[in-house]
Structure 1
Amino acid sequence: MTNWPTKKLGEICEIEGGDAAPQDKTIFENGTIPFVRMQDLGRYHITTNLIETVDKITNEALQKFRLKIWPKGSILLPRSGSVYMNHRAILGIDACVVSHIAILTNFSKEILNKYLFYYLTILDIGRFGTQTTGIDSISFSQLGRLKIPLPPLNIQQKIVERLDAIKKAQELNDKQIELAEELFQSLLHRELDPKGKNWEMKRLGEVANFQYGYTESAKERGNFCFIRITDIDDNGELINLDKKYIQADEKEVLPYILEKSDLLIARTGATFGKMLYFDSVEPSVFASYLIRVKPNKNIIIPKLIWLFSRTSDYWKQAWNLMTGSGQQQFNANKIKRIKIPLPPLETQQKIVEKLSAVQEYKKKLVQQKELLKELFESVLHKSMAGKFD
């Protein structure tokens, strides 16, 4: 707690709403004026510089519908439909704004707009709102009654500078992650493209064996970790959150116990074809909606197959082979037909090492991203509590 005075939000700024979005799509063709929709706010989630929008409106439409252009520096937050998502943004450009979003402007001299923005990010505004016809919302009067602590301006500035410095580090780290992914994709295409390399092309069925997983209900505890489709992330790596287990006799599940470098492929649902490279040391069994691929290591390095599963060539083949009119099915007989380039083992090793090095670098950046997020949250809450040690 602090001894800072407080004022209601409505006393330190003006709170208004955006305009109803014109329904004629042609209005947004060749437009030049940014039009902020909820999806734009959601894409950023939390930002001090919202500058990109999906839609831009024409000057003619601006006049016809009497839309208002809100100034750069205005604070945006949801007021209906996505209140509980707690999106927050500062406009980095002059822009029109949709009616589902509240706009804070004309801040009093006793508050910095960036300090107010940062303070609003720690508030779960949804708990102050209501639901009408199943849609969460918060009224202008409810927003206006929110109490805002007002430290002296020099303290506000200090808080902003501390948080801005971490935000800057986060942005630089995010850019490095983006560049690392671009490098990975570029190398992936270049290294695994068989054109002009005189490599054999083999079907997966010629270089690996296949096995369906174990049928059992997942539990919170057990002696084997139970790997399911939902445990594989979009990058084909194991998610270590919300792990599930089974309690089973080792002899019974012995054929399903995973070994390092095993590959698992999702065979059904929207994520069919997604492949995991298993490298965990935790005793684990794989579930029935997964297929284990056991490559012949005398012919092909398992990780090369996993890397190939990240290419457009793999996914093009997977989509062409997919069966099932409703639930998408990707059974072993189909997977066996996927063609994969087969360079010499020495070349395979070099390719795997090169691409793995980039992935390890990106993994460290992602870990850094989490640490920076934790640091930002810690500094934010301490600063708002008046703690500056």
Structure 2
Amino acid sequence: MKNRSKSSKNLSKNNGNICFTSGDTHYFVDDYLVNGEYLFLNDGGTADIKYHNGKAYYTDHIFAFTSQKICLKFLYYFLKTQQDYINKFCFQGTGLKNLQKNKLAQIPIPIPPIAIQQKIVEILDAFTELQAELQAELQAELQARRKQYEYYRNKLLSFEELQRRTDMLNGGGLELIRLGEIGTFTRGNGLTKSDFVEFGVPCIHYGQIHTHYHNYTYNTISFVSAEKAKKLKKAKYGDLVITGVSEDKDCVCKAVVYLGKQEACVSGDTFIFSHSQNPKFIGYMFQTENFNTFKHKYAQGAKVLRVHNKQLEKFQIPLPPLKVQNDIVEILDKFDTLANDLTNGIPAEIEARKKQYEYYRERLLSFIAKD
């Protein structure tokens, strides 16, 4: 194995020969270091094994491997089944762990006759291609469903539709109401990830709203001690917990509706919005095109974007009677489950297809290993 370096200023995202880096993004360069079949492995972090046939360049923290004694594509498929083992035993060090080549070299590899290796590669290539096609179809279907969901969500939450439903209910008028008129914003404080404990008082960190929580939650994934909780701001049942910062305009002010029975502590860079409306209805309002346009206008900052609670208080929403709010939420919950819930619908099918592919790949290669 060997690695090389390449100045980042010479990397392109469009033309030339592929250049392997330690990140997920593919880059291209005008020149190349190798030409043929190679495996590329990253030096730090976790195992990321890639197969390439043709001209390629690779930067520091990438190892290139080739061999005339084994079918490289066969070895690639086998090592993909060993990624958990490689991550656990072949990377060492504090902080960012580094690949230990001597430990990687000790992994026993089944080497059937070359004709068998090529046959296995042929089967797995066909299966991989089929898997990719199915995944692409499911992803396209999922995107179509999500766009359909977003269309109906915006339509159902539009002033015109809410006015129509209000008229049908009681013939009353509908006005635009500022959030500051129907509730209060409280800024979170003092909670960091280092405060987390295994059991204790529920808490929500602003980063988790971006990475873990969807529209609403009944439980938190983190907790703090009772002593720490005394010093922190808390969200109660029905409150919205809103991120105040993000590096992405579309993600700033992402909100999760808290429906837990026990109050939950929240971190700094969040706002708690307390109100007396249907919690999910207000939560869905934070996902509309109108709110997206609003927060883009008020998001400030260079790398990190912020929206302040004084701006959020100004956001206007059409506020129908609770009966109309409840009906809208019931409809949108069904749409949302179909489009986004990881335990139902298309996302679950995508995950099932992925696991099915991994299962058959590992069964095929483990059978060879036993022989």
Q: TM-score, normalised by structure 1?
A: 0.62
Match of 1:149 among 85, 98, 110: 110
The 1-side partners of 2:132 and 2:218 are apart by 23
Relative to structure 1, is the Cα distance of residues 115 and 277 closer, same or farther in structure 2, using a 3 angstrom cutoff? farther
Q: Is the 8 A contact 2:149 2:335 kept in 1?
A: no
Q: Deviations over 1:37-89 (max 9, x none)?
A: 316x625xxxxxxxxx444x5xxx45xxxx36745xx343235xx44331122
Relative to structure 1, is the Cα distance of residues 351 and 36 closer, same or farther in structure 2, using a 3 angstrom cutoff? farther
RMSD of aligned Cα (Å): 5.0
Relative to structure 1, is the Cα distance of residues 244 and 212 closer, same or farther in structure 2, using a 3 angstrom cutoff? same
Aligned to 1:9: none
Give the superposition deviation at 1:337: 1.4
Q: Is the 8 A contact 2:206 2:243 kept in 1?
A: yes
Give the superposition deviation at 1:135: 9.1
Are 1:98 and 2:98 matched, yes or no?
no
Q: Is the 8 A contact 1:262 1:294 kept in 2?
A: yes
Aligned to 2:167: none
Q: Deviations over 1:128-186 (max 9, x none)?
A: 5788xx994667x9977765221455488569847974885576356524542453245
Give the superposition deviation at 1:275: 0.8
SS of residue in 2 equivalent to 1:226: strand
Q: Is the 8 A contact 1:33 1:96 kept in 2?
A: no
Match of 1:119 among 59, 78, 83: 78
**Which AA in structure 1 matches 2:315?**
I
Relative to structure 1, is the Cα distance of residues 336 and 346 closer, same or farther in structure 2, using a 3 angstrom cutoff? same
1:334-373 equivalences in 2 (<5 Å) = 334-342=311-319, 352-361=329-338, 362-363=340-341, 364=344, 365-370=346-351
Relative to structure 1, is the Cα distance of residues 206 and 125 closer, same or farther in structure 2, using a 3 angstrom cutoff? closer
Aligned to 1:292: 272
The 2-side partners of 1:245 and 1:23 are apart by 45
Match of 2:182 among 207, 229, 238: 207
Q: Deviations over 1:271-295 (max 9, x none)?
A: 7522112345x63423253433234
Aligned to 1:243: 222
Relative to structure 1, is the Cα distance of residues 351 and 340 closer, same or farther in structure 2, using a 3 angstrom cutoff? same
Q: Is the 8 A contact 1:231 1:240 kept in 2?
A: no
Aligned to 1:76: 39
Q: Deviations over 1:82-119 (max 9, x none)?
A: 4433112233x7453324444445654xx444431122
Are 1:192 and 2:170 matched, yes or no?
no
Aligned to 1:85: 46
Structure 2, unaligned runs of 5 or more: 164-173
Structure 1, unaligned runs of 5 or more: 1-14, 44-52
**Count, aligned residues:** 335
Relative to structure 1, is the Cα distance of residues 156 and 385 closer, same or farther in structure 2, using a 3 angstrom cutoff? farther
Are 1:278 and 2:241 matched, yes or no?
no
Match of 1:227 among 185, 195, 204: 204
SS of residue in 2 equivalent to 1:148: coil
Q: Is the 8 A contact 1:163 1:380 kept in 2?
A: no
Q: Is the 8 A contact 1:180 1:358 kept in 2?
A: no
**Which AA in structure 1 matches 2:183?**
A
Are 1:265 and 2:242 matched, yes or no?
yes
Give the superposition deviation at 1:378: 5.8
Give the superposition deviation at 1:359: 2.6
Identity of matched residues, %: 16
Give the superposition deviation at 1:321: 3.5
SS of residue in 2 equivalent to 1:220: coil
The 1-side partners of 2:10 and 2:189 are apart by 53
Aligned to 1:6: none
Relative to structure 1, is the Cα distance of residues 178 and 214 closer, same or farther in structure 2, using a 3 angstrom cutoff? farther
The 2-side partners of 1:240 and 1:383 are apart by 41
**Which AA in structure 2 matches 1:98?**
Y
Aligned to 1:7: none
**Which AA in structure 2 matches 1:76?**
L
Relative to structure 1, is the Cα distance of residues 325 and 87 closer, same or farther in structure 2, using a 3 angstrom cutoff? closer
The 1-side partners of 2:218 and 2:362 are apart by 29
Aligned to 2:18: 35
The 1-side partners of 2:10 and 2:307 are apart by 41
Relative to structure 1, is the Cα distance of residues 220 and 305 closer, same or farther in structure 2, using a 3 angstrom cutoff? same
Aligned to 1:180: 142
